[in-house]
A = this chain, B = another copy of it.
Amino acid sequence: MRFATLSLAVVATFACAAGAAVKPEAAINYRQSAYNLIGWNFGPLAQMMRGKAPWDAAEFSRRADRVAFLAPQLLEGFPEGSDKGADTEAKPDIWKHMDDFKVKMDDFVKQSKLLADVAKGGDEAKMKEQFKQTAAACKACHDKYRNEE
């Protein structure tokens, strides 16, 4: 089959939830990629917030949608045993306090969804307020569970 070559490479690289157990390094690589994409899209919102980029409600909404779509995908990047295996800023406390970590992750999912929803309305003041709530949700988790050096 024509897809055989490609899919073999894909499967070899990404052992995934649907099949074999996830390798720690694959999970770490995955979650870092997801955070990277979130940062890529959250960055321009922060720039608008600070007046470093022109206010653009449509662009804000487009990127907020992406953050909201990615947020619920983070948690599967933290399977048991992925506290080590590659360079990671994730603190071992995540797996010791997984219930609390999930609460914080759920809050980020909720706040980013609200941000995407509010942005569809185009009300600048509301968007700015909800941006702060979303950034606070990021920070609450990073402060406790990320080694930021």
Contact = CB atoms under 8 A, between A and B. Distances in A.
A99 to B, nearest CB: 24
A51 B41 CA distance: 36
Question: In the complex this chain forms, how many copies of it are found?
Answer: 2
Nearest to A41: B16
Interface of A: 1-3, 5-11, 13-19, 26, 29-30, 32-34, 36-37, 39-44, 46-50, 52-53, 56, 59, 63, 66, 69, 73, 131-132, 135-136, 138-139, 142, 148
A5 B32 CA distance: 20
A15 B56 CA distance: 17
B139 A46 contact: no
A40 B73 CA distance: 11
Given A14-B39, A33-B36, 7 more contacts: A2-B136, A3-B136, A6-B139, A10-B39, A13-B39, A30-B37, A66-B73
